[in-house]
């Protein structure tokens, strides 16, 4: 994985994904050049909603075999007004996550220097959270059914699936993450006062895992109270572990509090490394601004940095993150969603130039 020629499958996808992924690759190339390593070997794959319009499916039948020949996957965004969301997501994203055992969705939430949070009087030291989201089962297991369509008695049933194994491995990952961070805290998102079966099992397994990690403090929060804590006391949170649905919502809330959904990255991780992991910004395809050149590339660039770190290219990853923090502090190198005057291309070019001329800031 960390050899000289890391092979990356690149899926720009739809909408602003077509704009932010080239921006990210520009920065990643600059990082490789700066440290004197070969650039990533990118295989560009034109899968997504446009592919669906031509072929009637989001990606070809052998897509997982194609992807499995790579060390990592860089994804832009999936979605189009012409394709129902569930067809888009279950036609591309979920088959990759589930097929490759990417049971960890890792979402760092950090307020970057110079970015104004919607939270009054909060600075970068107050918002530095990692959401560890279960990514392969839970509420998104796609178990259920739909009967009597179009009739008055129409019924849809959606079932969450929570296995002891699935809960235990994601909670273990969260505790291992917390052990590498200074505050060593894990907040567990639950709703065991309302979900009488799945969430009590979640709570039970969390306590069992916590007993194996005595140096990490575990606090259980009902998810609604935890959402409020994101807004009222984000500095009290460190690592948050949550089910598929809860983690999805909480991390989007965190990204908004950090200034914009355009900032936040994510990694869909297979900790066993049997298959490639997939990295993507958490924003959607944003068809309302697609093609205008104003999409924020920060999330895609940061996702690229996470990918570099996963590939063992730590020096390059550090250069990229350092350059992002430099760019965030200047209006001319921020896009309009962050109150800046830059656009996708100028921001990416500035970040790449900073990478080319700098070494990482001292810890």
pLDDT tens per residue across span 7-17: 999 999 999 99
Q: How do the domains of the chain map onto residue ranges?
A: 1-103+271-363, 117-258
Specify the pLDDT at position 107: 97
Specify the pLDDT at position 75: 98
Specify the pLDDT at position 2: 38
284 near 307, Cβ under 8 Å?
no
- CATH assignment, 117-258: 3.40.718.10
What are the beta bridge partners of residue 242?
133
Pairing of strands 138-147, 155-161: antiparallel
Which residues belong to the active site? 140, 191, 224, 248, 252
Selecting from 3.40.718.10, 3.40.50.300, 3.40.50.2000, 3.40.50.11740, what CATH number does the domain 1-103+271-363 have?
3.40.718.10
Q: What's the chain's length in residues?
A: 363
Q: Give pLDDT < 50 ranges for the chain.
A: 1-3, 363
Give helix 314-328 / helix 17-35 axis angle, nearest 10°.
Answer: 120
Tally of CB atoms within 10 A around 304: 31
Specify the pLDDT at position 363: 44
Specify the pLDDT at position 118: 94
Same fold? 1-103+271-363, 117-258: yes
Specify the pLDDT at position 358: 73
Tally of CB atoms within 10 A around 213: 18
Distance in angstroms (rounded) separating the CA atoms of residues 324 and 339: 16
């Amino acid at each position: 994985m960390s050899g000289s020629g890391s092979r990356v499958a690149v899926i720009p996808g739809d909408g602003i994904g077509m704009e932010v992924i080239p921006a990210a690759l520009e920065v990643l190339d600059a990082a490789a050049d700066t440290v004197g390593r070969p650039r990533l070997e990118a295989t560009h794959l034109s899968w997504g909603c446009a592919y669906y319009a031509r072929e009637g499916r989001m990606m070809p039948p052998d897509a997982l075999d194609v992807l499995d020949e790579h060390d990592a996957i860089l994804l832009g965004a999936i979605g189009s007004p012409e394709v129902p969301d569930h067809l888009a997501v279950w036609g591309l994203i979920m088959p990759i996550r589930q097929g490759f055992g990417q049971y960890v969705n890792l979402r760092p939430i950090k307020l970057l220097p110079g970015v104004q949070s919607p939270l009054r009087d909060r600075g970068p030291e107050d918002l530095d959270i990692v959401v560890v989201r279960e990514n392969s089962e839970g509420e998104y297991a796609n178990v259920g059914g739909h009967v009597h369509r179009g009739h008055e008695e129409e019924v849809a049933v959606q079932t969450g699936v929570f296995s002891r194994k699935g809960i235990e491995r994601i909670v273990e990952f969260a505790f291992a993450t917390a052990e590498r961070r200074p505050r060593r805290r894990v907040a567990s998102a639950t709703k065991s006062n309302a979900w009488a079966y799945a969430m009590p099992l979640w709570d039970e397994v969390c306590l069992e895992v916590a007993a194996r990690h005595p140096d990490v403090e575990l606090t259980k929060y009902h998810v609604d109270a935890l959402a409020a804590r994101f807004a009222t006391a984000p500095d009290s949170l460190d690592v948050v572990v949550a089910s598929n649905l809860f983690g999805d919502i909480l991390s989007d809330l965190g990204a908004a509090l950090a200034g914009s959904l355009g900032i936040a990255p994510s990694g869909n991780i297979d900790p066993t490394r049997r298959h490639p992991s997939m990295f993507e910004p958490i924003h959607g395809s944003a068809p309302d601004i697609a093609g205008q050149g104003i999409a924020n590339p920060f999330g895609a660039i940061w996702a690229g940095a996470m990918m570099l770190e996963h590939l063992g290219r730590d020096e390059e990853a550090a250069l990229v993150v350092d350059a992002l923090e430099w760019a965030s502090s200047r209006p001319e190198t921020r896009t309009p969603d962050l109150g800046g005057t830059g656009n996708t291309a100028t921001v990416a070019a500035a970040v790449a130039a900073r990478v080319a001329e700098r070494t990482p800031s001292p810890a």
